[in-house]
Copies of this chain bind each other. A is one copy, B any other.
Amino acid sequence: MKIAVLGTGVVGQTLAAKLSELEHEVMIGCRNTTEVLARNKPDNFGRPPFKDWLAKYEDIKLGTFGVAAELGELIINATNGMGTMEALKLAGEKNLSNKIILDVSNPLDFSKGFPPSLFVCNTDSLAEQIQREYPDAKVVKSLNTMNAYVITNPSVVPGDHNVFVNGNDESAKAKVKELLNSFGWKNENIIDMGDIKTARGTEMYVFFWAMLYGTFQTGNFNIKIMK
């Protein structure tokens, strides 16, 4: 499948690499390709410059948000939550129309350090904002409750544990579940919580996740629902 991965951070990179390995045609979308390729210093987390990472994956293309979204049959929003609405605007409404937007972002604001805060929560969510802004798109929230390494390889965390899916469109959720399967997520570990409003739950969970990250000093964990 042709997949646009919006966002050049660790989540975008890890997803793009995995999708390319799975033989999808992947284009990473960014605001400004020249600027992204000109970066020559490690990022804030000490990862190598984007162009050095990209050089290792000859099948992964880079384009603007608009070019990537036009190509993508499926759009993955892996942008920083703070920049999501602007990125989607640049992607262009016509390039999102009738497509699945798999939203893996979180509305985290780290501008005041740790703990972060959520810039939308409680009575609304980023996923709902996206769905409202692009009513013709099929927004599915998923994979936002764990780090990039667990997202693309659930066996990083031993044993069974869960991933959640939220969205209004059943066929879009079914398609996303297939993608999760291809990452290694078993059907019995995928919990469909319901419509897009339930994304408020998984987005607020991420605040708890961030607190546990502080406690454990690692992000390689996940939760299993016991009942």
> Which residues of A line the B interface, CB within 8 A?
115, 117-118, 121-123, 157-161, 191-194, 197-198, 200-202, 204-205, 207-208, 210-212, 214-216, 218, 220-227
Contact = CB atoms under 8 A, between A and B. Distances in A.
Contacts of A210: 201
Given A197-B115, A202-B208, A226 B222 contact: yes
A220 B222 CA distance: 20
Contacts of A226: 157-161, 221-224
A56 B214 CA distance: 45
A201 B191 contact: no
A198 B215 contact: yes
Given A224-B224, A227-B218, A122 B207 contact: yes
Contact of A212 (B197, B201, B207, B220): B201
A95 to B, nearest CB: 31
B212 A208 contact: no
A157 B197 contact: no
Contacts of A122: 117-118, 121-122, 207
A118 B121 CA distance: 10
